[in-house]
Amino acid sequence: MGRFILGRLAATLPVMGVVAVIVFLLLRLAPGDPAAILAGDAASPEQIAEIRARLGLDQPILAQFLSWIGRLAQGDLGSSIISNQPVAKLILDRIEPTLALATTTILFAVLVAVPLGVLAAWWHGTWVDRMVMAISVLGFSVPVFVLGYLLIFGFAMQLRVLPVQGYVSITEGLWPFLSRLILPTLTLSVIYIALIARTTRSSVLEVLGEDYIRTARAKGIGETQVLWRHALRNAAVPVISVIGLGIALLISGVVVTESVFNLPGLGRLTVDSVLARDYPVIQGVILLFSALYVLVNLAIDLTYLLFDPRIRY
Amino acid sequence: MTEPVLSIRGLTVPLPRGADRANAIEGLSLDVAPGEIVCVVGESGSGKSVTASAVMGLLPPILTPSAGEILLQGENVLKVGAARLRRLRGSRMAMVFQEPMTALNPVLKVGAQIDEMLKAHSERLNAEARRARVLDLLADVHLPDPPSLARAYPHQLSGGQRQRVMIAMALANDPALIIADEPTTALDVTTQAQILKLLKELQARRDAGILFITHDFGVVSEIADRVVVMQKGRLVEEGSVDAVLTRPQHPYTQMLIAAVPKAEPPPPRPRQPPAAPILAVRDLTKTYGGRGLFGGGRAVTALDGVSFALQPGETLGIVGESGSGKSTLARCIARFVDPSAGHIRVGGDDIAHCTPRALRPYRRRIQMIFQDPYRSLNPRRTVGQAIIEGPMNYGLSREAALARAARLIDLVGLDAGALGRYPHEFSGGQRQRIAIARALAMEPDVLIADEAVSALDVSVQRQVLELLEDLRERLNLSILFITHDLRVAARLCDRLIVMLNGQIVEEGPTGSLFANPRHAYTQALFAAAPKMRAAETAEATG
């Protein structure tokens, strides 16, 4: 078990190494020149060349890569070529809204979707089931930005019960913090509700057809007990997998939502850096995301242990 | 006569429209007295499992009884409400299912699953009393070390142990009626013998009535007091076990009993002059696992230095229980899995370790028939497509392959129209004929039959065995026949190999092996195999 965790943590290093190489190369291969963007429209070729030399971008790609990796190995993510601030500080400044939004979204989605899925499976083939499935199709189909603007229009502009946009740290009070997260959370969680509800439904349905459910009924146990004690825990593993997948996908999902609601999070930082060809920041953010991805997967694998005694690492 | 614990009167359960007959069960009446074991016997589709589910009130909604009554100690379970039915289940009647592998909840501890039964029906017991009772029950079914077993999860137990747990669970509230639906079908013969003994012992001690569903007349003769024979939803014969087994009245019963393979090998076939073996296996070993990403891991030896030779035209039986390595052996020879060490000579060439590309010419020469005819044929391809695919892969023209398919489908006893139809239009026995035709279309040197008749009803089993006997004479086939069933092996095989724990423990001509088994394990297998009283009696008189 401890050996498994250590092994998996050790395995993150090669994964991140590969990610580092690919990100570095892709950025260099993509069109666009940070020096030209930095110098502005009126700059002369000499000025641009001078900026390029100052940033070290005139070096061969291999030399640039080695110097970046060398500093990375010492824990230094480098500095932004636009603002000159350390990448680590930029990320730290922006991580709170993203973490807050991701947490509320996943929590909300799971709390809504799992009961919906279970109800749909339990009332399989009835109007309850059909309604949950309809909600799920709708959730998959509505684009995030459309839903986001509709919610802003309804709740913030017409009813005036919630703020339009922006972010307030939790240190400044719970309600100001939460009130600004409600609409982004609703917007972002819809697709996860659809995904998780569907998976829960099919997983529970499958389990309800198993032999041991028939055994439980033959024991004279009430139907609620059959569902709670015998069905749900057995249905959990696929649902947890999809929740883990959801957390990983969330990383890209926050980009649009943060833009719609003007949240100063990592998603916005990524978009801004890409537009400015701010190579060190993009590399830093993507490395962070890939590390998170690996850790989330590990956490999911460990969660299985709680639900299924047959799984051993 | 004492009042029966179960009395079924005129029970009719209609099938949904479009089924092959109107009723799953029609006008069924039977009684189970206290302390009596009544066996309901029939082939698949006879309605015996529907009967069991109907008594427990576990029928799916599309099967609703339309007439009759089911009286459990005088109370009609078809009339009582859902709440009362729940009270009766698990307390006055309990059920043991066929598949111990899937009938227990995999995520709950064994003790908790038995405890649940007590919690649901014996409210007077407190937690401590229930725990003591769980341990008593586990001891009653002769499970070792009840305290630690109660803490185990089902996957940590063997099939036989799980079935004992199921039985302990059924006994928890001292039910008046136990329904056992093919409780030993999924078990090895030696385990089956132990479970049957246990059921008899418990029933004698507790005076419960047992409704025992089975398709196996061997099991019937071991355990039944009375026998009820069902065919297509109707009761066709009923009587004491001796009467039914020795003097069956109904033609269907007579046919069923005659179809049971005798554990008596027929006289040996004339031996062919010894020739170079068509297949020779030497020191074949297969180890699973043991090479994880970080080394270590558990290594399981499925095959341990197995050697034998198959002569042209010979049928060699490989007999063993689950886990003996017989299926791994088949898969290694067919090269579906790669052997870890050893040699497999086909003709003169060793194919044990050659690459997939080099293996290609040999694939044709070794063909396999699988156990489950419902899953071994692609449902989206017609029978004709399934048969001609192999030969065409090896360069035969479509016309020639079709001509061969037509000849083979006739040879296995189906009409030529079958080629254009899909597998689901055929019965299990017909599908197995198709599977045989498909294998023969490759004109193989060696035919491997892996439990090829185990999933079939006895009457169908007999027909398929007859077909194989006929084909091997006509085509001089060399067959490797893998089975767990000694009776089937006796009938078909010239020579037998007995396997245990990946090794060959005994080998010899079928006749002498049956007459004089030398290894202790072979003797145990023979002792455990259910014997037909009828067959013995017939011999004694005839």
- For residues B392 and B376, what is the distance between their CA atoms, to the nearest angstrom? 19
* Segment A79-127, tens digit of pLDDT: 888 888 999 999 998 989 998 999 999 999 999 999 999 999 999 999 9
Could you give the CA distance from residue A214 to residue B443 in angstroms, rounded to a whole number? 46
The terminus-to-terminus CA distance of chain A in angstroms comes to 6
Answer for the pair A206, A245: CB distance below 8 angstroms, yes or no.
no
Residue B464 lies in a domain: no
Which uninterrupted H or E stretch holds A205? helix A174-208
The residue among A214, A215, A224, A310 with the most chain B CBs within 10 A of its CB, best to mutate, is A215
Residue B36 counted as domain residue: yes
Phi, psi of B279 (to 5 degrees): -140, 130
Across the interface, do B90 and A3 touch by the CB < 8 Å criterion? no
What is the H or E stretch that residue B317 is in? strand B315-319
Three-state DSSP state, A103:
helix
Q: Does B91 touch chain A (CB under 8 A)?
A: yes
Sheet holding B23-32, edge to edge: B23-32, B6-14, B67-72, B75-76
CA-closest candidate to residue B472, choices B454, B446, B453, B452: B446
Which residues are within 8 A (CB) of B476 and not within 5 positions of it... i.e. 6 or more apart?
A: B312, B313
Which residue numbers in chain B have pLDDT < 50? 292-296, 534-542
pLDDT at B535: 45
Q: Which residue of A has its CA nearest to B172?
A: A219
Q: What is the mean pLDDT of residues A173-181?
A: 87
A297 vs chain B: nearest CA distance in angstroms?
A: 18
Architecture of domain A90-307: Orthogonal Bundle (1.10)
CB A89 within 8 A of CB A280: no
**B104 touches A at CB < 8 Å:** yes
Cβ contact B91–A212 (<8 Å)? no
Task: Kindly indicate the confidence band of residue A207, based on its pLDDT and cuts at 50, 70 and 90.
Answer: very high
Partner residue opposite A220 with nearest CB, options B86, B99, B104: B86
User: Helices in B104-158 by DSSP H: which ranges?
Assistant: 110-121, 127-140, 146-150
Amino acid B319: pLDDT: 92
Give the total number of structural domains in chain B: 1
User: Can you tell me the mean pLDDT for A198-211?
Assistant: 94
Residue B182 lies in a domain: yes
Q: pLDDT band at residue A14, thresholds of 50, 70 and 90?
A: confident
Task: Tell me the three-class secondary structure of B397-463, residue by residue.
Answer: CHHHHHHHHHHHHHHCCCCHHHHHCCHHHCCHHHHHHHHHHHHHCCCCCEEEEECCCCCCCHHHHHH
Q: Give the pLDDT band of residue A248 (cuts 50, 70, 90).
A: confident
CA dist., res. A225 & res. B433, Å (int): 46
- B536 in reach of chain A (CB within 8 A): no
**Pairwise CA distance, residues B233 & B22, whole Å:** 10
The C-alpha of B276 sits at a distance from chain A's nearest C-alpha, in angstroms, of 49
Q: Has residue B512 been placed in a domain?
A: no
Across the interface, do A219 and B87 touch by the CB < 8 Å criterion? no
Cβ atoms < 10 Å from Cβ of B181: 22
**Closest partner CB to B107 (pick from A211, A218, A234):** A234
Domain boundaries, chain A: 2-73, 90-307
Confidence (pLDDT) at B38:
95
- pLDDT above 80 (res A253): no
Residue A67 structure tokens? 């110097």
Chain A residue whose CA is closest to B109: A309
User: Between chains, do B155 and A234 touch, taking CB under 8 Å as contact?
Assistant: no
Residue A267 has pLDDT above 90, yes or no: no
Inter-chain contacts counted by CB atoms under 8 A, chains A and B: 75
CATH code at position B246: 3.40.50.300
ipTM of the complex: 0.79
What is d(CA B290, CA B287) in angstroms, rounded to the nearest whole number? 8
* Alpha-carbon gap, residue B493 to B311, rounded angstroms: 13
pLDDT in the model for residue B40: 95
d(CA B315, CA B332): 18
- pLDDT for residue A244 is more than 60: yes
- B107, B116, B121: residue with CB nearest A308: B107
pLDDT at B298: 62
Using CB atoms, pick whichever of B86, B104, B294 lies closest to residue A222.
B86
| Mean pLDDT within A18-38 | 83
Range of the domain at B110: 6-258
A→B contacts (Cβ < 8 Å), by residue, are 3, 7, 210-212, 214-222, 225, 229-230, 233-234, 307-310
- Compare all CA atoms of chain B with the CA of A306 and give the residue at the minimum distance: B107
Nearest CB among B90, B102, B108 relative to A211 is that of: B102
Cβ pair B194, B229 in contact under 8 A: no
Confidence of residue A154 (pLDDT cuts 50, 70, 90): confident
DSSP symbol at B504: E
Q: B107, A309: Cβ pair inside 8 Å?
A: yes
The one-character DSSP state at B89 is B
User: Do residues B439 and B367 make contact, with C-beta atoms less than 8 angstroms apart?
Assistant: yes
